[in-house]
Amino acid sequence: MIIDHPLLGPRDASEFIYLGDASLLNRPNWDGKKSEDNFYKYLYLRENVAGMHKELWFHQQGDRSWLVISRNTVTHEIFKVELATEFKKNMGKSND
């Protein structure tokens, strides 16, 4: 696979480490009433998507950026690659 890094251009996937669903960016509040339940859902419940999926990749052998990649899990087609920092800031508000 080739990942088109927003800063570095197309790079081989072997330079990256895969983490998983980008929903990990939505970390729940720690002191809310249902915090334990929310953290359980945040950490353990995942959609098993056949199709478009936003996921986290780390450029370990590169500039150490965390990226949010929109990828079709069936065809492996990559539609969008964004810096996680930008993505998170664009989510509007931080969750804590």
Partner 1 sequence: MTRPARTKSSLININKKLSFVFNGKKYEGFQGDTLASALLANDVKLIARSFKYHRPRGIFTSGSHEPNALVEIIHDDYNEPNSKATTVELYEGLVAKSQNCWPSLKYDLMSINDKFSKFIGAGFYYKTFMWPSFFWEKVYEPVIRKAAGLGKLSKNKNNTNSEKGFLYCDLLIIGSGPSGLISAYIAGLSGIKVIIVEEDYVFGGSLNNEIFKISNMSPQAWVQSILKEIRKLSNVRCIENTSVIGMFDHGVFGAIQKLKESKIEQIFWKIMSKKALLCSGSLERLIPFQNNDLPGIMLSASIRSYLNRWSVNNFDNVLLFTNNDDTYLTALDLISNGIKLIGVVDTRDNPRIFDPKIKVFKSSQVVNAKGKLYLKGVDIVNKEGELRHLKCDYLGISGGWNPNIHLSCHTGVRPEWNEKIYAFVAGKTNVSTHLKAAGSANGKFSLNECILDAEKQVLEILLDLKMKPKKYSLPKIKEQSFEIDPFWFVKIGSQRKWVDLQNDVTVKDIEMAYAENFRSVEHLKRYTTLGMGTDQGKTSNVTGLAILASLSNKSIPDVGTTIFRPPYIPLSIEALVGSSIGKNFKPTRLTPTHNWARDNGASFTETGLWLRAEWYSQKNEYHWRMSVDREVNSVRNSVGFCDVSTLGKIDIQGKDALEFINKVYCNGFAKLPVGRVRYGLMLREDGIVMDDGTTARMSENHFIMTTTTVNAESVYRHLEFCHQCLWPEMDVHLISTTDAWAQIAIAGPKSRKIISKIVDKQFDVSNKNFPFMACKEITICGGVLARLFRISFSGELAYELSIPTQYASSLVSYLMEIGKDENIIPYGTEALGVMRIEKGHPAGAELNGTISAQNLNMGKMVSNKKDSIGMVLSKREGLNTLDGLRLVGLKPIKANHQLVSGSHLFNSSDTITPINDLGYITSSCYSPTLKSSIALGFLKNGNSRHGDYLKASNPILKTEVIAEVCNPIFVDPNGDRLRE
Q: Which residues bind partner 1 (CB under 8 A)?
A: 1-2, 12, 17, 19, 24-25, 27, 30-31, 35-36, 39-40, 42-43, 56, 58, 60, 64-66, 72, 74-78, 83-85, 88-89, 94, 96
Beta bridge partners of 20: 56
| Strands 52-58 vs 17-21: parallel, antiparallel or unpaired | antiparallel
- Cβ-based nearer residue to partner 1, 46 or 60: 60
CB atoms within 10 A of CB 69: 23
Name the residue among 62, 66, 65, 20 with its Cα closest to residue 45: 20
**Closest distance to partner 1 from the beta carbon of 45 (Å):** 13
**Closest distance to partner 1 from the beta carbon of 14 (Å):** 9
**Closest distance to partner 1 from the beta carbon of 95 (Å):** 8
**Closest distance to partner 1 from the beta carbon of 47 (Å):** 18
Count Cα atoms within 13 angstroms, Cβ side, for 87. 20
